[in-house]
Chain A
Amino acid sequence: MIKTVGLRKSFHVGKGRKRSTVEAVRGIDLAVSEGETFGFLGPNGAGKTTTLRMLATLIVPDGGDATIAGADLRSQPKEVRSRVGYVAQGGGTWDDVTAREELVLQARMYGIGKAEAVRRAEAALEAFDLADYGDRKCKTYSGGQRRRLDIALGIIHQPIVLFLDEPTAGLDPQSRAHMWDEVRRLRDLGMTVFITTHYLEEADALCDRIAIIDHGEIVAEGTPDELKREISGDVVAVALNGSAGRAAELLRAEPYVRELEERAEGALRLHVDAGATAIPQIMRVLEGEGVPLGGIELHRPSLDDVFLTKTGRSLRDS
Chain B
Amino acid sequence: MKLARDTWLIFQRHWLLTVRTPVAVAFGLAQPITYLVLFAPILKLALSAEGVSSYAQAFRVYVPGLLTVMAVIGGMSGGFGLLADIRSGIIERGRVSPMSRLALMLGRALRDVTKVLVDAALITVLALPFGLRVGLGGLLLAFVLLAILSLMSTSFGYALAIWVRNEGTLGQVILTLANPIMLLAGVLLPLTLAPLWMLRIAKWNPFYWATNGMRALYAGQLGAFSVWVSLVILVGLVMVTVPWSARMFARAAH
The residues of A with any CB-CB pair to B shorter than 8 Å are 53, 56-59, 78, 81-82, 84, 86, 88, 90-94, 96-97, 101, 105-106, 108-111, 153
Contact = CB atoms under 8 A, between A and B. Distances in A.
Interface string B90-123: 1111111111000000000000000000000000
A96 B21 contact: yes
A58 B253 contact: yes
A91 B13 contact: no
Nearest to B251: A59
B24 to A, nearest CB: 11
Interface of B: 6, 9, 13, 16-17, 20-21, 88-99, 253
A97 B17 CA distance: 7
A88 B9 contact: no
Nearest to A105: B13
Contacts of B17: 94, 96-97
Contacts of A90: 88-89
Contacts of A58: 92, 95-96, 253
Contacts of A105: 9, 13
Given A92-B89, A96-B21, A97-B13, A110 B253 contact: no
Going nearest first, the 5 A-B pairs with the smallest beta carbon separation are A92-B89, A92-B93, A86-B96, A82-B98, A81-B98
Identify whether the interface residues of B are mostly helix, strand, loop, or mixed: helix
Contact of B97 (A81, A94, A96, A97): A81
A91 B254 CA distance: 13
A93 B95 CA distance: 14
Nearest to B8: A108
Contacts of B91: 92
A86 B90 CA distance: 12
Given A88-B93, A110-B98, 17 more contacts: A53-B253, A57-B96, A58-B92, A58-B253, A59-B253, A82-B98, A88-B89, A88-B92, A90-B89, A92-B91, A92-B92, A93-B88, A94-B88, A97-B20, A101-B16, A109-B94, A109-B99
A11 to B, nearest CB: 11
Nearest to A79: B98
A207 B78 CA distance: 43
Contacts of B20: 96-97
Contacts of A82: 98
Contacts of A88: 89, 92-93
Nearest to A108: B9
Contacts of A153: 93
Contact of B88 (A57, A86, A92, A101): A92
14 contacts: A56-B96, A57-B95, A58-B92, A58-B95, A59-B253, A82-B98, A88-B92, A91-B89, A94-B13, A94-B90, A97-B16, A97-B20, A106-B93, A108-B9
A131 B208 CA distance: 55
